[in-house]
Amino acid sequence: MKKIYFGVLFTLVSLFTSAQEFSPWSVDLGAGIHRLGSTISAGRSSSILGQGNFGVRYMFNERFGVRLDLGYNSFSESAGSPFKSNYYRASIEGVVNVGNILHFDSWTERFNVLGHAGIGAASLNVTEPVENGGDFMIPISFGLTPQYKLSERIGLFLDFSSFIHFGQDDNVDGGANTAVRESNISFFNTSIGVNIALGKNKKLADFSKEVTEEMVFDSELDALKERLAKAEKEITILKAKDASPSKELIMTELDARYIRKDEANKYASVVTGSNVDFIRNLLNSGYINVYFDTNKADIQEGSLNSVNYLKQFMIDNPTMNAELIGYADETGKETTNIALSQSRAKKVFDVLVAAGIKPSRLSYFGGGEDKSVTKEARQLARKVTFKLK
């Protein structure tokens, strides 16, 4: 059952947490240099400056997404006859968060790498020496994008991309493309730029940790620890507020009146009337109880002294009888709580009988849920109290 529960929980977290943890939308702005491949005539070369790109990206989750990428390249001569041309491109690309797949978050929170590849449409427009009217072609792009996290919203990137073109008739200088292959590695782009998250979350998906089943368990564990710490703090406050004197002072006074100071767990040989009244009042007032763990009927080790106090008191006062009342916290069903509270009272009864107290001097029953204790202090509800008669 637990495996099914956490499996369902993990699936739900995987589907819905991403939208809550980061913004799926972002824009990529970059500019830089390019280097031509085989699409320039012999004896000519082009300057490396003049390229930029703008992308709108949507990430489905921490690993995968898509991007609409718009690109521009400007070519002009650096050697040979003068020429000028402009290149325009629009592509649809798939994006893969390589850093999340390879678990970069295990060693860094700042560096990441994206991979991308896609297909689109492009036009090469030669303006000098002669206008070509535009050469339409189909580009296939692929590349890698190392990133550095500047803030939750902004990342700095360095992109390396290659472009293979199908159906390219003209070179960038206006000459005919005489390559015998149907495709050419036309040019390489190197860009530097920024990724900016959009939307209300304003947190890049690129640096968001992927939600794993282990993280779900850790999150649950952290939540339980936080609740326990809060409950323990409130229990301490309740003890200081409601117990007068405090339990520590009571136990110190009880040891001073009823136990030899030099021999722990050894009772004094002389019991005075004042001691009897004092201890009976403590027991009947609920200052000394026996406590239990959740859904358990085994006495907590720290509560064995409370059983010993009652045992020794009944030995020293053979005319007194004791009623044992068990309780449970509010977390279970009513019928379950009644049965559990009775089992706890029976456990204390059995221990006292085994210690030499006659069964006829003892009675026990289950009180069910202790409604006097709040949910935040439920640890104090799992107990057995005493009533001396």
Residue 227 lies in a domain: no
Residue 171 lies in a domain: yes
Q: Tell me if 269 sits within 8 A of 372, measured CB to CB.
A: no
- Same domain for 194 and 252? no
Q: Which two tokens stand for residue 373?
A: 């204790």
CATH of the domain at 254: 3.30.1330.60
pLDDT at 1 over 80: no
| Residue 91: predicted pLDDT | 97
CA nearest to 184, candidates 37, 313, 381: 37
Q: Which residues pair with 365 in a beta bridge?
A: 325
Number of domains in the chain: 2
> Residue 232 and residue 238: Cα distance in Å, rounded?
10
- Same domain for 97 and 145? yes
Q: Which two tokens stand for residue 118?
A: 């896609």
- Same domain for 274 and 200? no
Confidence of residue 141 (pLDDT cuts 50, 70, 90): very high
| Residue 348: predicted pLDDT | 92
Residue 380 lies in a domain: yes
Residue 225 lies in a domain: no
- Same domain for 27 and 167? yes
CATH of the domain at 131: 2.40.160.20
Most confident of the following: 245-259, 342-356, 371-385: 342-356
| Residue 307: predicted pLDDT | 86
Confidence of residue 215 (pLDDT cuts 50, 70, 90): low
Least confident residue range of 78-87, 143-152, 158-167:
78-87
Q: Once rounded to an integer, what is the mean pLDDT over residues 344-355?
A: 91
Domain endpoint, select from 170, 189, 211:
211
- Same domain for 272 and 168? no
- Same domain for 308 and 356? yes
Q: What is the pTM of this model?
A: 0.52
pLDDT at 226 over 90: no
Domain endpoint, select from 211, 228, 252:
211
Looking at this protein, which amino acid is placed at residue 263?
E
Residue 231 lies in a domain: no
Q: Tell me if 264 sits within 8 A of 257, measured CB to CB.
A: no
CA nearest to 375, candidates 236, 273, 255, 227: 227
| Residue 8: predicted pLDDT | 45
Q: Which two tokens stand for residue 365?
A: 């029953």
- Same domain for 197 and 264? no
pLDDT at 138 over 90: yes
- Same domain for 73 and 199? yes
The range of the structural domain enclosing residue 58 comes to 2-211
- Same domain for 265 and 196? no
Sheet with 290-291, side-by-side order of all strands: 290-291, 383-388, 322-328, 362-369
| Residue 263: predicted pLDDT | 43
CA nearest to 82, candidates 117, 132, 44: 44
Q: Once rounded to an integer, what is the mean pLDDT over residues 274-287?
A: 75
- Same domain for 204 and 270? no
- Same domain for 204 and 249? no
CA nearest to 348, candidates 301, 313, 384: 384
Which of residues 85 and 274 earns the better pLDDT score?
85
Q: Once rounded to an integer, what is the mean pLDDT over residues 229-258?
A: 55
Residue 233 lies in a domain: no
The conformation of residue 106, written as its DSSP 8-state character, comes to: G
Confidence of residue 269 (pLDDT cuts 50, 70, 90): very low
Least confident residue range of 30-34, 39-43, 201-205, 239-243:
239-243
> Residue 169 and residue 175: Cα distance in Å, rounded?
9
Residue 238 lies in a domain: no
Q: Once rounded to an integer, what is the mean pLDDT over residues 309-331?
A: 89
pLDDT, tens digit (0-9, with 9 covering 90-100), for 81-96? 889 999 999 999 999 9
Q: pLDDT averaged over the chain?
A: 81
pLDDT, tens digit (0-9, with 9 covering 90-100), for 184-203? 567 899 999 999 999 887 78
Residue 250 lies in a domain: yes
Confidence of residue 175 (pLDDT cuts 50, 70, 90): confident
Least confident residue range of 139-153, 256-270, 278-292:
256-270
Confidence of residue 247 (pLDDT cuts 50, 70, 90): low
Distances (CA, A) of 302 to 30, 142, 249, 291: 66, 67, 17, 8
